[in-house]
Amino acid sequence: MNQNNLAKYVSYLLENPNDQATMLGIGPMSDTLITACFELAEANRFPLMFIASRNQVDLDELGGGYVCGWDQTRFAADLRTIAEEVKFTGDYFLCRDHGGPWQRDKERNDHLPEAEATKLAHQSYEADLMNGFDLLHIDPTKDPYITGKVIPLEVVLDRTIDLIRHCETFRKENNLPEVAYEVGTEETNGGLTSSEVYEGFIKTLTERLDAESLPRPAFIVGQTGTLTRLTENVGHFSAENAKVLSALAKKYGVGLKEHNGDYLPDTILLQHPAVGITAMNVAPSYGTAETRAYLNLMEVERREFEAGRLAKRSSLHATLQDEVLAGGRFKKWLVGEQLAMSNEELKADSDLMFTIIELAGHYTYNNEVIKVGLSELFENLSNLGIDGRRYAINQIKKVIRNEAECFNLVGLTDRVNL
């Protein structure tokens, strides 16, 4: 990881229209995914942005993270270790995705008072800064006390300025390196639903930041029409709108960031560099790719067991569905009548249940029974000459390789560092 280099990449992409590329923000769904990323990026010479939400990576005293049990210190250390093991020589960046008050599900569900939620957000950001995070997403658009879904833009602006001010004060007091910022959200409750409002937000924000000598953001999130539900993108991507938003952001020296980039077809991915999308975030689809790999391996194990070539099956068959249902995190991806279905009703719908396991299996990877089941699965397959973990890594790499190629990312590290 090279501190402060992220801003260099953003500047390069904004200032070199003849070298159009879109950076990829990668949700760190597992250590297997991290290994796949480092291997692929080393071979293809592109930078990595690991975008961790507060539910995924956070301080233990704030509830910790469901990914590998990571807090910020262990997250940074484990990425360093994996990078060294892979002999990665490029640039990678630790990024906070959706930082801010009430961004942990429990804080929002518990309706914490604003002062307490803000204090916890400050603690989380401070730990990010102390552990060398390169990008902080300032997202104050979750609020259990504001009725309806639209948070007034004046409130969003005030909270954004307050959070950046706090981070900068803490950073300077502790002699920490400069950090890049991301503002805005893909949610409609952020209020950035038109080009006029979008520009007004950037203009007012940058004026207020400049007045306090606070840094302008590197990225502003724009709504391009993408929307992830279950294991598909059900939104309606608008290249025309993306091009308008990217031009407006560039006018203020800011890159356009797209969220909800999961499961997009190549025909849309290929358009991203051309319309000026500086970066796109992807997370659940990588977890889906890894879980699908495990489901394939479990099917091979079942067939080999029934054919008498294995003495026993792993416990993963019996535990994965129950652990997914018990965790409940899959519910955020459901739609329509599915939201009212009980666990028993979900189990009775085998096709829907299979999809739920695909999309939410990654939430269980750190559960002890799942770790045991995966270990048993890999051991059984090893006896058949199959490297299960390598298969999972390669399946993940297929997805990211395709996105990197569509985004003209291959070789970007060397182009920027010339």
- SS3 readout for 73-114: HHHHHHHHHHHHHHCCCCCEEEEEEEECCCCCHHHHHCCCCH
pLDDT of residue 146: 86
Q: Dump pLDDT digits (tens) for 250-279.
A: 999 999 999 999 999 999 999 999 999 999
CA distance 229 to 262: 9
Q: What is the tens place of the pLDDT at every residue in 323-343? A: 999 999 999 888 889 999 999
- Say whether pLDDT at 189 is over 60: no
Distance CA(13)–CA(272), nearest Å, equals 13
Gyration radius of the chain's alpha carbons: 21
Question: Given a cut of 90, is residue 363 above it in pLDDT?
Answer: yes
Q: Provide mean pLDDT across the span 52-79.
A: 97
Query: Can you tell me the distance from the alpha carbon of 165 to that of 405, in angstroms, rounded to the nearest whole number?
Result: 38
| Residue 298 pLDDT greater than 70, yes or no | yes
Q: What whole-number distance in Å separates Cα of residue 264 and Cα of residue 243?
A: 18
Sign of CA pseudo-dihedral 332, 337, 342, 346: negative
Type of residue numbered 125: Y
Find the mean pLDDT for residues 194-210: 94
Q: Tell me the pLDDT tens digit for each residue of 91-106.
A: 999 999 999 999 999 9
Question: Nearest Cα to 397, choosing from 101, 39, 115?
Answer: 39
C-alpha 223/C-alpha 350 separation (Å) is 34
> At a CB cut-off of 8 Å and minimum separation 6, what does 407 contact?
21, 22, 23, 24, 269, 272, 273, 280
Sorting pLDDT into bands at 50, 70 and 90, what band is 4? low
Pick the CATH number of 5-286+396-416 from 2.60.120.10, 3.20.20.140, 3.40.50.720, 3.20.20.70: 3.20.20.70
pLDDT bin (cut points 50, 70, 90) of residue 186 is low
Question: How big is the chain, counted in residues?
Answer: 418
Beta-ladder partners of 183: 138, 220
Q: Considering only residues 100 and 190, tell me which one the structure prediction assigns the higher pLDDT.
A: 100
CB 223 within 8 A of CB 185: no
Where in the chain do CATH 3.20.20.70 domains reside?
5-286+396-416
Read off φ and ψ for residue 388, nearest 5 degrees.
Answer: -65, -45
Predicted local confidence at residue 1, as pLDDT:
41
Instruction: Identify any residues that bridge with 282 across adjacent strands, giving them in sequence order.
Output: 26
In the chain, % of residues over pLDDT 70: 96
Taking the C-alpha atoms of residue 104 and residue 55, their distance in angstroms, rounded to an integer, is 5
Cα distances (Å, whole numbers) of residue 63 to 120, 124, 204: 11, 11, 35
- The percent of residues above 90 in pLDDT, for the chain, comes to 89
Q: Is the pLDDT of residue 150 over 90?
A: no
Task: Compute φ and ψ for 277, nearest 5 degrees.
Answer: -75, 115
More confident residue, 223 or 181: 181
One-character DSSP codes across 209-270: HHHTTPPPPSEEE---S--EETTEE-S---HHHHHHHHHHHHHTT-EEEE---TT--HHHHT
Token representation of residue 226: 């993408």
